[in-house]
Structures are given as C-alpha cells and as structure tokens.
C-alpha cells in the first residue's frame, strides 16, 4: 500500500516535471519557430495576412541570400575571420594552458587573473581604440583585424577552458614521457595533445561561437571588404521597406552552424560557458 | 594538484602575453591617454588632468545610464536565477530526454546576439509578430518602439529567453554531481521536498550558482547588441544601457575625452567584479581538491 502511494507520488512528480520542461521549451522555441516560418513566407503574406504557418510556401528568401553577393559574402567574411581567430587563439592558448595547469611560476596567479579580466572587459570600451589602432597599421576592413580583435576575449576563454581540461590529465603521464626520453615539443604534440583532444574540440566550438555571435567589434572594424553577416543584417533594418522574409532567412542561416554541432558538445555546454570550470 | 615550480614556463605563456598585450594593453593605454587630454582637432592635444573624470561624475547622462544598467541587471538576475534553478530541478536525469532537453535548451545560447535581437524584434511587432499580434488582439496596448514599459519588458523577456538556459545548465551540472547516498539518507529521514532542496541540493550547487550569478551579472552589465537591435536604446533613452551610451559617445559623437573617462570607470567596475569571480573560482577549485 505504502509502496503504491510512493510510486504514485513519484509518477506525479515526473509528470509535473514534464509539464514544466514542456512549457519552458515551448517558451524557448516559439520565437525561433516564428523566425523560421517567416523565412518561408512571401513578404505580402507576412505583411498582409497573419498566418501561423506559411500558406504560400516559398524558398525565394533563401535563394536571394545564396545568390546575392552582398548577402552571401557576409557569411564568407564572418567565416573567414572566425576561422582565423580560432586558429590563432588555439595556437597560442595550448602551450599557455599547459603551463598554467602544470607549473607554478612567478606571477602565475596574477597573469591568470589578468587574462580573465580581458574576457570580462566590455567590448564597447575597446571599440574606439581598436578602430584607431587597426586604422593606423593599415588593417582596417580586413579579416585579420577582426580575428585579432576577437582574441581579446577568445584567447583568455581558450586558456581558461583548456586549463580546466588539462588539469584532468594526470601529471604522471608527463613524467613518464620525459623519463622515456621524449623532448617537450614531441611529448606535447604526440602524447599530450591527443589526450586533451576532446577539450580542444570543445574549446574550438566555443571560440567559434563567441566570435560568430559578436557584433560590436566586427562592425566597428569593417566597412565593405570584410563586412560580417551580422552587420549586413543590422544595416538592412531601419532602411525604408524592410525585406522581412530575407531578414528572417538570414537569421535562420546564422543559427545553422551552431545547431549542427550542438549535439556533440551538449555535455560540455555548461563547462564551456563557465570558462572550463564546473 | 601540486605544481612544480618552473620559471621557464614563462616561455610557454609568452605568445599569449604578446597577443593579449597587443589587443588589450595598447588599446587600453590609448583610452587612458585620451582620458587625461583635450583636443581642438588637428591632432593637437592638451593636458586636461582629471577634468573629464570630474565632468563624467557630474554628468546626469552617465548616472542615468548606470541606474538603468543596474536596474536591468538586478531584474534579469532576480528572474533568471530562480527560474534557472527551477528548470534544472525539473530536467530529466539521464537518457534520451535529458539529451534532447540539453540540446534544445542550448539553442538560444548559440544564436548570434544580433539575431536574438532580430528574432524578438520580429516576434514582438504588433503587425507581423506572433507575440505583438496576440497581445494586441487581447486588447493590450503593446508597442515596444513607443511605450517605455513595453520596451523594458521586451528587453527583459528577451534576456530571460536568451540566458536562463545558461543558469539552468550550470545548476544542472551541479545537481548531477550530488551522490545518490545523500538522497537516500534524506529519504530515511523522511525529509520533505523543500528540505531536500534547502539542505542538500542548494548547498551543493552554491559554488556553480555563484559562477552563474557572476557570469550573468557581468554579461548583462555590458549588454549591447540585443537591445541595440530591438529598441536602438529607445524610446528616447529608456533602454540606453552603459555600453550603448558609451558607443554613442565614442563612435557617434566622437567625444574622445569624456568617452575615455567613462570607459575607464566602466572598466574599473568590471575589474572589481572580475576579482570576486576569480576568488570564487579558485575557492571552488580548492574545495574540489585539485
């Protein structure tokens, strides 16, 4: 008897949880659903009638983006600086994270803290000086300028996340390898890097994400040649006669890269956002 | 983990040091430079001392922006933290449904910030948006481009939509690490659901929760893109937060001196909070026995 009551209460609690999660996920997905539906409608349907799903299904909005150079170069530009940033950040962060996770040296804690402050620094503070710095060295409106600017928050992020992963690798492995006569570079490339491969993958994902979602710096540092998709989108807004369908389609296309790989990093999402801790 | 003392480790840090110095120290020095000088154009600069700082501290504009900023951060924290914990408590523990929830909940976190703005801009419009249209059909006067309250509510709901999942995921990670034995002990003691939460779960997730609070505070404190896209800081100045105001001042009006002084004070606040964050992190590491 008592047992059945307990199971009953348990199943009721599970049902309650399901309702809560259902409502929460509904709240999360509804705006995205609306964006998706809008991207599949014609502009006259968007503006003249209010429909919950497209009556007049069209892929013209996507066709516009994928064929109009002023739109798709935005994606290419974004991709270019995001990948550059990822490569640079990982290249410098890997040895640094190793040093922080293994050795103590003069000023290590202060340095680690200083890195953190750069991740936390408001990009708005850096917008103007970046603009002047990169203009004066002739890098304004190039992909590399944005990639370097994004290092401001991505390098500290990479160091912190990688350090979190590297601490999980036992130190005995290093010591054994040194005894076996491995030199440091060889040990690092052949033994250590494969051991933290999943950490590197997760870090790369977050570097990609944070560079991809950023708008303020990438907009400030570019005008034509390296204009990111984010800036292309905001400049369309506010002009007379907004093409809502195309805007929605452009938005959907920016979500795709994240949505594609999200499944692989699902268990590390919390860790990545919390800078390698948790 | 006890670490070996090795000063040569500096060589491994060197690349990071050079890169971050280039992308952080040099620009920051430029800001400091501007903050103590005045210019009449032609690249002629004059020593102005602390004039700009005094002017900014007296300026109502900055205090208003700061007030709005603090109000915004306080409101979103008050909503997102409890809601995030509540969601985390209701998440499935394992299996297919847990994976599905993780993936779907992460989705808003990975959307570019300006697209988050665009989504809510479209969603909230009275003529074409599901939310705006529904509210209008219910006879509620809702227009985020003209009504201050509607603008604030839109920006807040947008932030809750965007970031509550982060709090939930962190709290969930904390809950997962609680050993089953704790719950069994509570069952033997016939502890109520509330008591289990209050005396087992809450103390155990306190560490990650602090991280969540600090991260959300910091990121909301420098929010720029999302409100910029939705409201553009309006109506009037109603949703002009610190970053939006700073960018207006620095890149819009090119008031270098005041903007630089503003930046430095802004940066100092962030530095202070970073320090709290760092202390919490290192304490957490120690407790986990690394």
Report domain extents, chain B. 61-287
- CB atoms A96 and B13 under 8 Å: yes
pLDDT score, position B43: 66
- Does A224 contact B at CB distance below 8 Å? no
% of chain B surpassing 90 pLDDT: 24
Please identify among residues 237-276 of chain A the ones whose CB lies closer than 8 Å to any CB of chain B.
237-238, 244, 247-248, 251, 254-255, 258-259, 262-263, 266-267, 269-271, 273-275
CB-based contact, A32 to chain B, within 8 Å: yes
The percentage of chain B sitting over the pLDDT mark of 70, rounded to a whole number, equals: 96
**pLDDT over 50 at B290, yes or no:** no
Question: What residue in A sits closest to B279 (Cα-Cα)?
Answer: A113
CA-CA distance, A158 to A94, in Å (whole number)? 8
Burial bucket for residue B259 (CB in 10 Å: 0-12, 13-18, 19+): buried
State chain B's mean pLDDT as an integer. 86
A15-24, A48-57, A104-113, range with the lowest pLDDT: A48-57
Q: Is the pLDDT of residue B41 over 70?
A: no
For tokens 């970046």, name the residue: A130
Contact A229, A212 (CB under 8 A): no
Q: Which residue of A has its CA nearest to B281?
A: A277
Is a pLDDT exceeding 50 seen at residue B212?
yes
State percent of chain A over pLDDT 90. 35
φ/ψ region of A152 (left if φ > 0, alpha if ψ in -120 to 50, else beta) reads alpha
pLDDT > 70: what percent of chain A? 92
Across the interface, whether the CB atoms of A117 and B1 are under 8 A apart is answered no
Which positions ≥6 away from B262 have C-beta within 8 Å?
B56, B62, B245, B246, B249
**Between A241 and B275, residue with greater pLDDT:** B275
What's the alpha-carbon Rg for chain A, to the nearest Å?
Answer: 24
The CATH number fitting domain A69-273, selected from 2.30.130.10, 1.10.3720.10, 1.10.4080.10, 2.70.98.10: 1.10.3720.10
Look up residue A161 and give its two tokens: 């996340």
Cβ-based contacts of A116 with chain B (< 8 Å)? 274, 277-278
pLDDT tens per residue across span B125-151: 888 888 888 888 888 888 888 888 889
Give the right CATH number for B61-287 from 1.10.3720.10, 4.10.520.10, 3.30.565.10, 3.30.420.40. 1.10.3720.10
- C-alpha B123/C-alpha A32 separation (Å) is 9
Say whether the peptide bond before residue B235 is cis (omega within 30 degrees of 0). Answer: yes
- Provide CB contacts within 8 A for B85, sequence distance 6+: B167, B168, B171, B205, B209
Segment B275-282 shows an average pLDDT of: 84
Q: What one-character-per-residue DSSP string does B169-218 give?
A: HHHHHHHHTS-HHHHHHHHHTT--HHHHIIIIIHHHHHHHHHHHHHHHHH
Q: What pLDDT is stored for residue A6 in this prediction?
A: 61
Identify the pLDDT of residue A4: 63
Q: Look at B30 and A95 and tell me if their CB atoms are within 8 Å.
A: no
Partners of A130 on chain B (C-beta within 8 Å) are 23, 27
> What is the pLDDT confidence band of residue B288, given thresholds at 50, 70 and 90?
low
**CB-based contacts of B28: which residues, under 8 Å, 6+ apart?**
A125, A126, A129, B267
B1 pLDDT exceeds 60? no
In angstroms, what separates the C-alpha of B173 from chain A's closest C-alpha? 7
Domain ranges of chain A: 2-39, 69-273
Half-sphere exposure of A137 (CA within 13 A, CB side): 13
Report CA A8 to chain centroid distance, whole Å: 43
pLDDT above 80 (res B235): yes
Q: Each residue of A112-155: pLDDT tens digit?
A: 888 888 888 888 888 888 888 888 888 899 999 999 999 999 99
The tens digit of pLDDT for each residue in A211-239 reads 998 888 888 898 888 888 888 886 655 44
Q: If residue B143 lies in a helix (H) or strand (E), which one and from where to where?
A: none
Contacts of B173 in chain A (CB under 8 A): 270-271, 278
By Cβ distance, the residue of B10, B31, B86 closest to A105 is B10
The predicted pLDDT at position A236 comes to 59
Q: What are the chain B neighbours of A212 within 8 Å (beta carbons)?
A: 112
Nearest to A97 by CA among A168, A179, A180: A168
Inform me whether the pLDDT recorded for A98 exceeds 90.
Answer: yes
Q: Which pLDDT value is given to residue A10?
A: 65
Find the CB nearest A117 among B113, B127, B274: B274
What's residue A168's pLDDT?
86
Two tokens, residue B166 = 């982060």
Of A269, A272, A275, A276, which to mutate for an interface test with B (greatest number of B Cβ within 10 Å)? A269
Query: Cβ B129–A88 below 8 Å, yes or no?
Result: no
The predicted pLDDT at position B3 comes to: 79
The partner residue sitting opposite A99, judged by closest CB among B13, B91, B99, is: B13
B6 at interface of A, judged by CB pairs closer than 8 A: yes
pLDDT of residue A26: 94
Give the per-residue pLDDT at A5: 63
Choose among A16, A124, A209: nearest Cβ to B247: A124
- In angstroms, the CA A146 to CA A140 distance is 9
The B residues from 25 to 64 touching A (CB cutoff 8 Å) are: 26-28, 30-31
pLDDT tens digits along A195-208 = 999 899 999 999 99
How near does any CA of chain A get to the CA of B36, in Å? 15
Q: Give the C-alpha distances (Å, rounded to integers) separating B37 from A128, A136, B247.
A: 16, 20, 19
């Amino acid at each position: 008897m008592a047992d059945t009551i307990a199971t009953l209460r348990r199943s009721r609690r599970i049902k309650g949880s399901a309702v809560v999660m259902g409502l929460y996920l509904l709240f999360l997905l509804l705006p995205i659903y609306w964006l998706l539906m809008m991207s599949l409608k014609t502009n006259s349907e968007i503006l003249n009638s209010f429909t919950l799903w497209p009556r007049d299904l069209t892929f013209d909005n996507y066709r516009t983006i994928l064929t109009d150079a002023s739109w798709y170069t935005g994606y290419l530009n974004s991709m270019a600086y995001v990948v550059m940033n990822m490569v640079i950040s990982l290249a410098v962060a890997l040895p640094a994270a190793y040093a922080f996770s293994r050795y103590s040296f003069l000023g290590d804690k202060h340095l680690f803290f200083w890195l953190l402050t750069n991740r936390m620094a408001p990009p708005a503070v850096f917008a103007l000086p970046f603009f002047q710095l990169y203009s004066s060295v002739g890098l304004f409106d190039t992909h590399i300028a944005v990639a370097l600017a994004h290092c401001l928050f991505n390098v500290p992020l990479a160091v912190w996340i990688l350090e979190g992963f590297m601490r999980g690798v036992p130190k005995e492995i290093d010591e054994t390898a040194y005894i076996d006569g491995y030199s440091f570079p060889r040990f690092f490339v052949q033994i250590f890097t494969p051991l933290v491969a999943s950490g590197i993958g997760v870090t790369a994902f977050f570097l990609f994400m944070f560079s991809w979602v950023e708008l303020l710096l990438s907009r400030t540092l570019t005008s034509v040649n390296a204009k990111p998709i984010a800036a292309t989108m905001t400049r369309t807004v506010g002009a007379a006669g907004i093409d809502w369908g195309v805007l929605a389609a452009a938005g959907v296309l920016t979500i795709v890269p994240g949505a594609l790989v999200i499944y692989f990093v699902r268990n590390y999402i919390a860790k990545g956002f919390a800078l390698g801790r948790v | 983990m006890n670490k070996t003392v090795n000063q040569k480790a500096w060589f491994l840090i060197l690349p990071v040091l050079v890169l971050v110095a280039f992308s952080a120290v040099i620009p920051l020095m430029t800001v400091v430079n501007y903050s103590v000088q005045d210019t009449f154009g032609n690249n002629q600069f004059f020593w102005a001392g602390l004039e700009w700082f005094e002017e900014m501290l007296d300026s109502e504009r900055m205090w208003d922006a700061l007030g709005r900023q603090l109000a915004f951060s306080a409101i979103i924290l008050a909503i997102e933290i409890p809601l995030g914990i509540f969601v985390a408590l209701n998440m499935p523990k394992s299996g297919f449904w847990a994976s599905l929830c993780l993936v779907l909940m992460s989705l808003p976190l990975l959307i570019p910030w300006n697209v988050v703005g665009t989504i809510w801009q479209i969603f909230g419009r009275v003529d074409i948006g599901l939310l705006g249209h529904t509210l209008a059909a219910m006879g509620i006067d809702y227009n985020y481009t003209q009504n201050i309250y509607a603008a604030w509510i839109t920006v807040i709901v947008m932030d809750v939509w965007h970031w509550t999942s982060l709090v939930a995921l962190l709290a969930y990670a904390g809950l997962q690490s609680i050993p089953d034995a704790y719950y069994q002990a509570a069952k033997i003691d016939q502890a109520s659901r509330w008591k289990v939460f209050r005396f087992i779960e809450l103390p155990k997730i306190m560490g990650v929760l602090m991280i969540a609070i600090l991260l959300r505070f910091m990121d909301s404190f420098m929010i720029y893109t999302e409100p910029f896209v939705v409201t553009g800081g309006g109506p009037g100045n109603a949703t002009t937060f610190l970053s939006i105001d700073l960018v207006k001042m620095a890149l819009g009006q090119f008031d270098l001196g005041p903007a630089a002084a503003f930046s430095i004070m802004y940066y100092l606040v962030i530095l202070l909070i970073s320090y709290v964050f760092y202390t919490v992190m290192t304490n957490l590491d120690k407790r986990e026995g690394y």
